[in-house]
Amino acid sequence: MIITLKVKSFKLKFIIFLWALCSVFCVLSPVSAKIYIDITSPAIRQLPISIATKGPPQAKEIEWIIHNDLEATGMFSFVDPDIPGAEIIAHIDVAMSDELKVILSITDLVENREVLKKRLVASKIRSLAHTISNDIYKIATGKKGIFRTKLSYLVDSSPGRKELHVMDWDGYSSIKVVAKGLTSSHTWSHDGNFLIYSSERNRRWTIYLRNRKYRRETVLFSSKGLNLVGGTSPEELIVFSSSKDGSSEIYMINIYGKDLKKLTRSFGIDVSPVFSPDSKRLPLFQTGEVPRRYI
């Protein structure tokens, strides 16, 4: 059935417009669709969440780490498990033997259904807790969490020596990974499996690649002059600056130390190369200047 209306009154037109607009929103908003948090909103409504742990004393430590992880986002408010008001509850059942064994269950209390259940086994409390934080964050927002992120940084250990350290995103679990020589610029491969850094040892600057899993260091590039690592791309390419031929120029090499390419030839000092977000261009810097062009 088709109904045709001829409307002359502006007021009546406005009423019909509002009715049509409401009808569209009703069609586009099915009951099954559910968004807990609008992360683009300038005023975020915090999601009420409960965390209930059971097991040995390590369970409370895991709960404390998860609480700190989620609280740092500003997206969650916390409700005692014995008090109504939470929209999500995470049950964490911990057992301790040679390793930590956890059964994680996340329940949507609004829809009264379990949305995630998994078993986790780990040897380290913090990495386990950060993994659970990522699971909760993914359920709540639909986006990947960052709580397993590692940060690399330099520490002045003595005059003329800098050590490379790695820590959790929240500043805990700091470990020393490079203590030899004077370590300078450093970066990560896109998959997070390799830490790449420049280090001066025996009066020679070398770019090293360290496998995080096997803790093995290999030489990526070495030559006379100053060699400073820059950025990496998802295609396993690494850019760096080197003065091996006199002036500092930009070079590119793959993660296996092969296919070396010289990208610049100029009288200036080209340094700090990084890939553009699409990995197709390199903003080129010169000492004392703003970026002058892409290569």
Same domain (yes/no): 181, 289: yes
Same domain (yes/no): 86, 217: no
Residue 265, pLDDT score = 85
The angle at the Cα of 267, spanning 264 to 272, to the nearest 5 degrees, equals 50
Same domain (yes/no): 58, 171: no
Distance, CA of 150 to chain centre = 9
Low-confidence ranges of the chain (pLDDT < 50): 1-35, 287-292
Among 120, 141, 162, the domain boundary falls at 141
CA-CA-CA-CA dihedral for 253, 167, 147, 240, to nearest 10: -20
Alpha-carbon separation of residue 279 from 44, 83, 232, 241, 276 (angstroms)? 33, 50, 9, 17, 5
Among 75, 108, 141, the domain boundary falls at 141
Residue 269, pLDDT score = 82
Number of domains forming the structure of the chain? 2
Domain of 132: which CATH number?
A: 3.40.50.10070
The pair of three-digit structure tokens given for residue 3, joined into one six-digit string:
């109904």
Q: Give residue 86's domain range.
A: 47-141
Tell me the H-state helices in 2-116.
10-28, 58-73
Domain-located, residue 239: yes
Q: What is the pLDDT of residues 230-275, one digit of tens each?
A: 999 999 999 999 999 888 999 999 999 999 999 988 777 888 888 8
Residue 33, pLDDT score = 38
Same domain (yes/no): 167, 254: yes
Same domain (yes/no): 219, 275: yes
Same domain (yes/no): 54, 188: no
> Is the pTM above the cut of 0.85?
no
